[in-house]
Amino acid sequence: MLIDNESYFCMQCQMIHIRQQEDLIMTTGWVHLDSIQYAVGCCNQHESKPHSQSHTSSWHRD
């Protein structure tokens, strides 16, 4: 079984991506595809931006 440390499996896209610094990589999950083991993560396109915006807007209610 080969381990690919340069790439990871995005849970949202259901695709393999090259690791970027801003990507969120899980340390608990692994995906096996074609006898290669990939870490499970989430690419930066799926970060919880709406959640952080709604969190800050709730502070400004008067």
Q: How confident is the model at residue 54, as a pLDDT?
A: 42
User: Is 5 in contact with 25 (CB distance < 8 Å)?
Assistant: no
The answer to the question of residue 53 being in a domain is no
The pLDDT tens digits of the residues spanning 20-61 come to 988 888 877 899 999 999 999 998 886 555 444 444 444 444
Structurally, the chain folds into a number of domains equal to 1
Q: How confident is the model at residue 58, as a pLDDT?
A: 44
Per DSSP, the residues of the chain read -EEEEEEEEETTTTEEEE--TTSEEEEEEEEEETTEEEEEEE-GGGS-HHHHHHHHHHHT--
The pLDDT tens digits of the residues spanning 6-19 come to 999 998 899 999 99
The answer to the question of residue 55 being in a domain is no
Parent domain of 40:
2-47
